[in-house]
């Protein structure tokens, strides 16, 4: 049983890495200082909002399984 949860934990960790890499960068870095500030106040698109929800869900699964597996509750 714990092997199944371990595999789910590893899979969710890999998926979490991929989801974080899919996010668009929030800032322009040093080049954004001289650019117009209008891009700072745009709202996130629906795709970005959905990606945020999926990322948070996978993060909760990953952290919950990390706590459960490290505590030895299974």
Question: Please, what is the average pLDDT of the chain?
Answer: 85
3-state secondary structure of 10: helix
Are the beta carbons of 65 and 5 closer than 8 angstroms?
Answer: yes
Please compute, for residue 11, the number of CA atoms within 13 A of its CA located in the half-sphere on the CB side.
6
pLDDT tens sequence across 7-43: 999 999 999 999 999 988 876 666 655 655 555 555 6
Residue at token pair 């590893």: 10
**Helix or strand holding residue 55 (H, E):** helix 46-71
């Amino acid at each position: 049983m714990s092997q199944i949860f371990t595999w789910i934990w590893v899979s969710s960790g890999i998926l979490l890495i991929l989801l974080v890499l899919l996010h668009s960068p929030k800032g322009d870095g040093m080049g954004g200082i001289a650019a117009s500030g209008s891009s700072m106040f745009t709202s996130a698109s629906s795709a970005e909002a959905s990606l945020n929800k999926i990322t948070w869900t996978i993060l909760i699964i990953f952290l919950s399984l990390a706590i459960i597996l490290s505590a030895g509750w299974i």
